[in-house]
């Protein structure tokens, strides 16, 4: 018989130690690899049973893959997270220094507490606690931790390649993504565990225009800068068409039993009328609008060397999040048609296709829903589409059940702090996150 499970205290202190290592993948050249190596060693220090009981494999310099052997040869479960973080703008004012890992008033503050060291920590907490109780899962469980997700995720891509080359098709892949939110839509005020069943593609495109340089006192009729400005303006005025993914219809239908009054009637109507719903979401703007169409965001503008010199070249870098059902090639073609300027060159800098939608009528989704009920009994579980990219996108090419959910509660302010200022996680949320993963692993069957 396994020993009685004892949950270790002080999860906040262990996460604090993780946050104190500035694993900023975008600053690897200036900071060096030492923080990443220190993080890999810190896992062994903070989680000695994981280090002793699981097989660890390094895949690339930044991929950590742990294997916990189960009691059967059934297809495994892959729990994913990443331990790199985005940079901090030195001009931003944080309540606590971003890499201090301050624990204060029931919270852990610092870069990565939500994205994604907090979710990584609760995976390790659950495994460490279960190992202490003598538990062994029914299936092999892999812990896949990438150290460069914020810079296109090569480590995770190589880990996924290793699975495919070894002929291993996971039964379930679970990565970061949705969270437990208090208001999933402006007119829906019910706690909900939002599980990403698909994610939009990501594409970065540079538009470049060339023209005659010279003195700014006598500009020609059309300049390189003006052409780029006009192209950006046309893209803003003529967005991509709307699409309604099946998962969004399922999400709306799932909310209906948990609402009352006008909101209930509105949800029922939206679930039944996808074309109308898409238009309503667009009018709402923000996240709802992004759920139903490919978005185009100009993120970088360049051109010119002096205030009185016409630039001979100007460019705009665009970040696109490609809607499910569309493609990279199709998006490039639509950009060209929208801009309609043969004098502008388009260069694809990076592109990944949107994922298919993983089903919600499966044992895998039910296992996630049941684990949510243990950790967050007040919350319902609902599918949705991820708008950001995750490391799990490298698995959807061959794994049929890929989901994106970090079992942490995040209000609107916390979600805004991801990649922003004053990122923090509640200690209660960390404890519930550990409970979620423990329930998920305990309930596995072969």
pLDDT tens track for 302-312: 999 899 999 99
Confidence of residue 1 (pLDDT cuts 50, 70, 90): very low
Average pLDDT, integer, range 205-232: 92
Average pLDDT, integer, range 92-108: 97
Spatial distance between the Cα atoms of 255 and 263, rounded to a whole number of angstroms: 10
Q: Which pLDDT does position 74 carry in this prediction?
A: 97
Q: Which pLDDT does position 285 carry in this prediction?
A: 87
Average pLDDT, integer, range 333-354: 95
Q: Which pLDDT does position 284 carry in this prediction?
A: 87
Confidence of residue 2 (pLDDT cuts 50, 70, 90): low
Check residues 252 and 287 and name the one with the higher pLDDT. 252
Average pLDDT, integer, range 237-244: 92
Question: pLDDT tens digits for 321-341?
Answer: 999 999 999 999 999 999 999
Percent with pLDDT over 90 in the chain? 80
Average pLDDT, integer, range 209-234: 92
Q: Which pLDDT does position 4 carry in this prediction?
A: 75
Average pLDDT, integer, range 288-299: 92
Q: Which pLDDT does position 3 carry in this prediction?
A: 59
pLDDT higher than threshold 70 for residue 300: yes
Q: Could you tell me how far CA 110 lies from the centroid of its own chain?
A: 18
Domains and CATH numbers, the chain: 11-183+359-442 (3.40.630.10), 201-352 (3.30.70.360)
Vertex 410 angle, CA 438 and 320, to 5°: 105
Spatial distance between the Cα atoms of 76 and 96, rounded to a whole number of angstroms: 40
Q: Which pLDDT does position 354 carry in this prediction?
A: 94
Other CB atoms within a 10 A radius of the CB of residue 442 amount to 16
Q: Global pTM?
A: 0.91
Helices 11-19 and 34-46, packing angle to 10 deg: 170
Spatial distance between the Cα atoms of 215 and 309, rounded to a whole number of angstroms: 5
pLDDT higher than threshold 70 for residue 350: yes
pLDDT higher than threshold 80 for residue 187: no
Spatial distance between the Cα atoms of 405 and 197, rounded to a whole number of angstroms: 9
Check residues 266 and 14 and name the one with the higher pLDDT. 14
The rounded mean pLDDT for the chain is 94
Q: How far is CA 98 from CA 11, 88, 108, 329, 418, in A?
A: 19, 8, 11, 39, 12
pLDDT higher than threshold 80 for residue 177: yes
Spatial distance between the Cα atoms of 42 and 20, rounded to a whole number of angstroms: 11
């Amino acid at each position: 018989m396994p020993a009685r499970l004892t949950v270790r205290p002080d999860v906040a202190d262990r996460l604090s130690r993780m946050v104190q290592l500035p694993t900023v993948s975008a600053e690897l050249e200036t900071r060096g690899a030492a923080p990443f190596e220190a993080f890999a060693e810190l896992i062994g220090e903070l989680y000695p049973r994981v280090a002793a009981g699981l097989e660890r494999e390094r895949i690339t310099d930044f991929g950590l893959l742990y294997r916990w052997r189960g009691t059967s040869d059934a297809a495994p479960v892959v729990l994913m997270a990443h331990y790199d973080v985005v940079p901090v703008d030195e001009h931003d004012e944080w309540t606590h220094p971003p890499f201090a890992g301050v624990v204060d008033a029931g919270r852990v503050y610092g870069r990565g507490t939500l994205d994604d060291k907090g979710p990584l920590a609760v995976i390790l907490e659950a495994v460490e606690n279960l190992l202490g109780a003598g538990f062994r899962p029914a299936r092999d469980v892999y812990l896949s931790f990438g150290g460069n997700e914020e810079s296109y995720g090569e480590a995770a891509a190589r880990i996924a390649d290793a699975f495919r080359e070894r002929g291993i098709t996971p039964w379930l892949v679970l990565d970061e993504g949705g969270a437990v939110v208090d208001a999933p839509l402006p007119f829906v005020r019910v706690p909900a565990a939002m599980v990403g069943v698909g994610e939009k593609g990501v594409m970065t495109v540079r538009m470049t225009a060339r023209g005659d340089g010279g003195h700014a006192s006598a500009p020609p009729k059309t300049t390189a800068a003006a052409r780029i400005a006009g192209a950006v303006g046309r893209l803003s005025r003529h967005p991509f068409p709307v699409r309604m993914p099946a998962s969004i219809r399922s999400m709306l239908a799932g909310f209906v039993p948990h609402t009352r009054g006008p909101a209930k009637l509105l949800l029922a109507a939206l679930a039944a009328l996808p074309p109308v719903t898409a238009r309503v979401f667009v009018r709402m703007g923000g996240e709802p609008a992004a759920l139903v169409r490919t978005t185009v965001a100009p993120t970088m503008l360049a051109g010119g060397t002096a205030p009185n010199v016409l630039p001979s070249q100007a460019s705009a870098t665009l970040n696109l999040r490609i809607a499910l059902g569309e493609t990279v090639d199709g998006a490039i073609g639509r950009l060209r048609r929208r801009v309609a300027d043969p004098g502008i060159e388009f260069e694809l800098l990076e592109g990944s296709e949107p994922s298919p939608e993983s089903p919600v009528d499966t044992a895998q989704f039910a296992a996630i829903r049941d684990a949510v009920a243990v950790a967050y009994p007040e919350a319902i579980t609902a599918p949705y589409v991820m708008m950001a990219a995750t490391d799990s996108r490298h698995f959807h090419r061959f794994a049929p059940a890929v989901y994106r959910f970090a079992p942490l509660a995040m209000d609107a302010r916390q979600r805004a702090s991801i990649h922003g200022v004053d990122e923090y996680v509640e200690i209660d949320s960390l404890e519930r996150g550990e409970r979620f993963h423990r329930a998920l692993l305990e309930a596995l069957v072969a």
